[in-house]
Structure 1
Amino acid sequence: MLEIKDLSINFEDFTILKNINLKLENQVCVILGPNGSGKTTLLRAISGIIPYKGSIKINGKEVRSAKRILEYSTNLQEVYTIGNSAWDTAKIIAEIKGGDLKEFTNILSYLDVDRKVIHKPIYKMSTGQRSLVSLALALFMKPQIVTIDEPIENVDVNRRDRVISLLRERVNEGLIVTHQKELIKMLENNKKEVIIYTIVNGELVEGDKM
């Protein structure tokens, strides 16, 4: 379960997010908003990367005080700098979470990613490669709760359907944030309920308000 209560995030005198409240239990939520609206900032807070006011709990564990939440994963690329290459990072994740690296390579093959790419660090890949490899790193452990940032941005048209299929198959609970409204229709055939919110002036509003 992901539970957010009275979440606010400020940088200096600027308020990015305010009074965010959201509770997910075996649900998938798509959050819409234009670039710069605070979508990625929300995911960074959930991932424990930036400080926040209020509460963010994953299965009852407060994110700011939890050392490691094994049942959670994200595709935020800044999370995947723990190894000298994407392959090293995958090995570390598999060791920590007790997973199978074959799942990682299987996803890469499904997304038609050149295997040579994984021997580079994320920051040395092309934007499209970074998007696909970080998605594979987020999903190969089959985490219980996932946050996904802009999954089809910088992904070529030929691979978008495969990205969507992976999301349908492997994201059973969590947040997917995007500025691309067409993503909602792509996910609508998912067996899980898809809830839609929009970030408007730093606040979370139910429904498609874009």
Structure 2
Amino acid sequence: MLEIKDLSVSFDDFTVLNDINLKLDKEVYIILGPNGSGKTTLLRAISGIIPYKGSIKINGVEVRSAKGLLEYSTNLQEVYTIGNSVLETAKIISEIKKGDLKDFFKILDYLNLDRRVIHKPIFKMSTGQKALVSLALALFTRPQIVTIDEPIENIDINRLDKVISLLRERINEGIIVTHQKELIKLLEKNVRVYNMVNGELVEDNKMQ
């Protein structure tokens, strides 16, 4: 379960997120909004990367006070700098979260990624490689709760169906943020849709 209460995030005098309240339990939410609307900032707060006001709890544990939440994962690339290479990072994650490293390689092969890419750090990859590798790192341990940032951005058309298939198969609880509304139909899942508007969440069926 992910529960967010009265969440606000500000940088200097600029408020990015204002009074966000959200609760999901074995559900998938899609949050729509243009680039710069605060969607990624929300995921960064949930991941414990940035300070926030209010409360974010994953299975009852406050994120800011947690050293590591093994049941949670994200594709935010900044969390995958713990190793000198992607392979080293994957090994560390596998050990910590008791994941099967073979599953990581299976996802890479499924996405038609050259395995040689994993000997690089993620920041030295192409934009498309970063997107695919970070998705594989997020999903290979089969986490209970997942947050995914812009999963089909920078994905070439030949891999799009495979990325959608992975999302459909492996995410049963979590948040996917995107500025591409077509993702809702592509997923073919029963999802709840929100829009990020001026740093606040508005449920899609309440938009006028």
TM range (shorter): over 0.9
- Indicate the percent of aligned positions where both proteins have the same amino acid: 76
Displacement after TM superposition at 1:40 (Å):
0.3
Q: Structure 1: how far apart are the matches of 2:90 and 2:66?
A: 22
Q: Size of the alignment, in residue pairs? A: 207
* Residue 206 (structure 1) aligned to one of 175, 198, 203: 203
Is 1:45 aligned to 2:22, yes or no? no
1:103, distance to aligned residue in structure 2 (A) = 0.3
Q: Please list the CA deviations of residues 163-208 of structure 1 after superposition, one character each: whole Å capped at 9, or x if unmatched.
A: 0000000000000000011111111x22xx3000000011000007
* Displacement of 1:74: 0.2
- C-alpha displacement of 1:98: 1.0
Superposed CA offset, 1:113-140 (max 9, x none): 1100011000000000000000000000
- Which residue of structure 1 lines up, in the alignment, with residue 3 of structure 2? 3
User: Which consecutive residues of structure 2, in runs of 5 or more, have no partner in the other structure?
Assistant: none
- Deviation sequence 1:131-166 (CA, Å, 0-9, x none): 000000000000000000000001101101100000
Q: Distance in 2 between matches of 1:36 and 1:200?
A: 11
For 2:166, what is the secondary structure of its paired residue?
helix
In structure 2, the residue matched to 1:139 is 139
After TM superposition, the score normalised by the length of structure 1 is: 0.97
Quote the Cα distance in structure 2 between the aligned partners of 1:167 and 1:39.
Answer: 18
Letter in 2 for 1:116: R
Tell me the residue number matched to 1:29. 29
Report the equivalent of 2:99. Answer: 99
1:60 and 2:57 equivalent?
no
Give the drift of 1:47. 0.2
Aligned position for 2:20:
20
Q: Give the drift of 1:61.
A: 0.3
For 2:99 and 2:181, locate their aligned partners in 1 and report how far apart those are by CA, in whole Å: 34
Question: How far apart, in 1, do the equivalents of 2:99 and 2:141 lie?
Answer: 6
- Structural RMSD (CA): 1.0
Segments of structure 1 that go 5 or more residues without pairing to the other structure are none
2:174 corresponds to 1:174: yes
Q: Distance in 1 between matches of 2:148 and 2:21?
A: 18
Q: How many Å separate the matches in 2 of 1:179 and 1:35?
A: 7
Tell me, in whole angstroms, the C-alpha distance in 1 between the residues paired with 2:25 and 2:43.
Answer: 17
Following superposition of structure 1 onto structure 2, how do residues 48-127 of structure 1 map, counting pairs within 5 Å?
Answer: 48-127=48-127
For 2:112 and 2:60, the matched residues in 1 are separated by: 37
